[in-house]
Amino acid sequence: MIKVNGLHKSFGNVEVLKGVNTHVKKGEVVVVIGPSGSGKSTFLRCLNLLEDPTKGEIIFEGQSITSKENDINKQREKMGMVFQQFNLFPHLSVLDNITLAPIKVKNIPKEKAEEIAFRLLERVGLKDKANAYPKQLSGGQKQRIAIARALAMSPDVMLFDEPTSALDPEMVGEVLEVMKELAKEGMTMVVVTHEMGFAKEVGDRVFLMDQGIILEEGTPEEVFDNPKMERTKDFLSKVL
């Protein structure tokens, strides 16, 4: 579903990604772990071109999204993204946050969009918050709304950029629960996270990134229980 070939990204003189190659298959949950500064988030943000790769190619559903003629807005409709800082639109109600893109981008009629929104709100357990504004919500609620907002475009893949890192500990669970549900329903997911428990439990494949490359990849058992690289062992010993 997503093919990445020789992905490089530099910010000025700093090369953050030094040739990432991988392939994410449909229905797969890929969890990306690694020390901070290893390029995990940059890698994820390259997948929907929030960062413009310096070199390399990304192919999404058979279409090269890095080619010059490509209109990235089309693929972004199919790639939901959830951010560490939630990034809900503070001037819009929860309902309007969710229906904005379906109405404006997909031209879905308002009533239909709201129907979809209510169904999603029910799914994330926040139906009663439809008319609330983001600042009235807790961090965990905000993130669940952000997930619902991304799902409203019925994406083929969901990208999660450290979705629980900005949350108070007691709110991490409710967000992970929603993500687990999503994984169970067969959603293709790429998740950058520090939640090793989630990686073990939900991940089909784990990437360990370090210094701009995927250092080690495999099933959670392979990576967590029998890491091949010294660097992986070192990292895991610090976080587990």
Which residue lies nearer to another protein by CB, 76 or 129?
A: 76
Distance of closest approach, residue 89 Cβ to another protein, in angstroms: 6
Nearer to another protein, 9 or 205 (CB): 9
Q: How many CA atoms lie within 13 A of 151 on its CB side?
A: 24
Closest CB 81 distance from another protein, rounded Å:
4
Nearer of residues 48 and 193 to another protein, judged by Cβ: 48
Taking the complex as a whole, how short is the minimal distance between the CB of residue 45 and another protein, in angstroms? 8
In angstroms, rounded to a whole number, what is the distance separating the alpha carbons of residues 225 and 47?
29
* Residue closer to another protein, measured from CB, 101 or 126: 101
What single letter denotes the amino acid at residue 234?
A: D
DSSP 124-187: TT-GGGTT--GGGS-HHHHHHHHHHHHHTT--SEEEEESTTTTS-HHHHHHHHHHHHHHHHTT-
- Footprint of another protein on this chain (CB under 8 A)? 48, 50, 73-74, 76-77, 79-81, 83, 85, 87-91, 100-101, 104-106, 135, 146, 149-150, 153
Residue 113 Cβ vs another protein, minimum distance, rounded to whole Å: 13
Torsion 99-105-110-111 (CA) sign: negative
Minimum CB distance to another protein, residue 94 (Å): 14
> Closest separation between CB of residue 136 and another protein, Å?
11
Contact between 46 and 53 (Cβ < 8 Å): yes
Q: Which is nearer to another protein, 149 or 205 (CB)?
A: 149
Which residues is 209 bridged to in the sheet? 214
Closer Cβ to another protein, 50 or 59, answer by number: 50
CA 10/CA 45 separation, integer angstroms: 13
Of 12 and 237, the one with the shorter C-beta distance to another protein is 12
Residues contacting 9, CB < 8 A, separation 6+: 15, 16, 17, 39, 42, 46, 51, 52, 53, 54
As given in the structure block, the two tokens for residue 2 are 């997503």
What is the distance between the alpha carbons of residues 34 and 39, in angstroms, rounded to a whole number? Answer: 8
Nearest distance in Å: CB 65, another protein: 13
